[in-house]
Amino acid sequence: MPHPQHLPREPMNAIALVNGTVITLNRNTPDGQALLIENGLVQCVGTTEQVLERKRPETSVVDLDRRVVLPGLIDAHTHVEFCALSRDWLDVRAVPRTETLARLRDELREGYAGTDRWLVAQGTFGQDLPVRAELDELSRDTPIIVRESMHRLTANTAALERAGMVRGFTAPVGTLVEIGEDGAPSGWVEEGYHLFPVPAPEPDRLRTMLRNELRDSFARHGVTCIYELPATAEGVRAYQRLNAAGDLPTRLSLTLTVAPGLSPILSSPEQLADIGLISGFGGGNLWLGGFKVFLDGDDTSAFDSAHLTKSPGNWSTNTRQYAEIVHLLTVAHRAGIQVWIHAIGDLAQHLALDAIEEAGRVAGPGDRRTRLEHAANLWIDDALVRRLRELEVIPVPTAGFIHADPGDGAYAYRTLIESGFRPPGNSDTGGTQPFATNPWFGVAAMLDRTNRHGVVVAADEAVDTHTALRTYTEFAAEAGFREAHIGALGVGMHGDCAVYANDPRELSPAELRALEADLTVVGGRVVWQREDQS
């Protein structure tokens, strides 16, 4: 595995890849045998002879030896910072509750007593996690949190007390803190990890963690651009400092969450709009994506009609009224800021679409590319398709969630694409499914549609490999207003590509799930190289 010192601080942005197959995914640039990147941009796709004739003397040459080059892949929604943080947490993913408790007990022997350390463990979707009483038996002094996912966790009394979650506590908007029969928080918290004062890594260490995560979890699979949702303001600063030092292994856009919501960065939409920055502000390696708003939570905290049989206080973690959403969207539209809307439940999605329609009327026409995150994951019908099309909303399902789906989801890629939509490929992972940072895992899920138990989920929504690949290239580029620069290989576009031993479009889903790039190139700079290819 490459180490940081193997990445040059002064980028070598010129490279010629010859004697292979270059797949451009660009209707204006035919596929070829060779690719020339100089000054960070594609200069030529053609024969090996043409590229060698055009290259500068100082341009390095890589003999592909019949290997395949694809455009760099784009992850259009993920949580790199949380992925990086989870590397420091205790791994209890997909183990029985008894094993989780045993691992926590063993970890507590490693110098926690008498310190301010927190013990955070990472589980996965649908896992049977310990309850507060069991965690209290392990320690009454060390705060313990066990995360199922970005959205749901369980905590011991020490952790709850440090977060102020004691008898009489009132959960803030957008967060669900379950209250037990004794009138005190039970330990179950949804949409509220950011409320716990877990110590953050030191800034220098956070930068190293983020750089390593970008390289080892994303670039190694051929990802060259990521649309990131940073978890903290310090994470935003860390990305800027990595960029200034030339240490970003991939391109990044940063989309900031507006409170109330999970791990918010902005207190209001005006906080960003009033300073005059618009989506795209920044450079070619790091830029402002926009902002994200939560309308509900996940699973039991989703604003969904199935929950209306419960008492109103348990319908969802609904964060905003209709008029508030219209106001937020109008502010964003007038300021030139793209909006991502998190809406999982059917009621949340209908609410979002109503607000989008009204904000469009108020602000007037424009190319806004408003995104509806999680649309078509769990359900789809003709009425939803029609409204999405009329309002020019980008639906953003996540194929990787098929892995944990119980078997009744939709993940309606075929329906969306046949209806003219271009849903962007993404992992939407924050440590719960670390393998999902490999975009080929998502591609495989679009093909065979199988969950972790081997159950096929909505088989009629499967697409072919070439179509799935387009979601992580041209569709993802369009979803971030970057189609002129990334998502394909064409003269004048960014020189971002990945080299594979074989054409991924000819591999089986099982082979795709384990696929790594031999070489990943960003702007002509090698950011990942397999050790056996060094």
Task: For the chain, give every residue range classified as CATH 3.20.20.140.
Answer: 74-81+202-486
Q: Is 127 helix (H, G, I), strand (E, B) or coil?
A: coil
Residues 236-255: tens digit of each pLDDT = 999 999 999 999 999 999 99
Query: Which pLDDT score is estimated for 314?
Result: 81
Whether the full predicted model's pTM is greater than 0.85, yes or no, is: yes
Average pLDDT over residues 276-299: 96
- The CA–CA distances, whole Å, from 153 to 107, 178, 451 equal 19, 11, 23
Residues 66-125: tens digit of each pLDDT = 999 999 999 999 999 999 999 999 999 999 999 999 999 999 999 898 899 999 999 999
- The CA–CA distances, whole Å, from 412 to 279, 303, 314, 407, 507 equal 28, 20, 28, 13, 23
| Percentage of the chain modeled with pLDDT above 90 | 93
Structure tokens at 510: 């099982």
Helices and strands per DSSP (H, E), number in the chain: 16, 22
Task: For the chain, give every residue range classified as CATH 2.30.40.10.
Answer: 1-72+487-534
Task: For the chain, give every residue range classified as CATH 3.10.310.
Answer: 91-195
Residues 411-456: tens digit of each pLDDT = 999 999 999 999 999 999 999 999 999 999 999 999 999 999 999 9
Contact 283, 368 (CB under 8 A): no
Residues 290-340: tens digit of each pLDDT = 999 999 999 889 999 999 988 888 888 889 999 999 999 999 999 999 999
CATH topology of domain 91-195: Diaminopimelate Epimerase; Chain A, domain 1 (3.10.310)
CA dihedral over 499, 500, 501, 504, signed as positive or negative: negative
Kindly tell me the burial class for residue 204, based on how many C-beta atoms sit within 10 Å of its own C-beta (0-12, 13-18, 19 or more).
exposed
pLDDT at 514 exceeding the cut of 90: yes
As a whole number of angstroms, the distance between CA 74 and CA 83 comes to 17
Q: Which CATH number does 1-72+487-534 carry?
A: 2.30.40.10
Is CATH 3.20.20.140 the classification given to domain 74-81+202-486? yes
Average pLDDT over residues 491-507: 97
What secondary structure letter does DSSP report for 401?
G
Half-sphere exposure (Cβ direction) of 108: Cα atoms closer than 13 Å: 19
CA neighbor of 54 nearest in space, from 21, 22, 23, 18: 18
Residues 17-43: tens digit of each pLDDT = 999 999 999 999 999 999 999 999 999
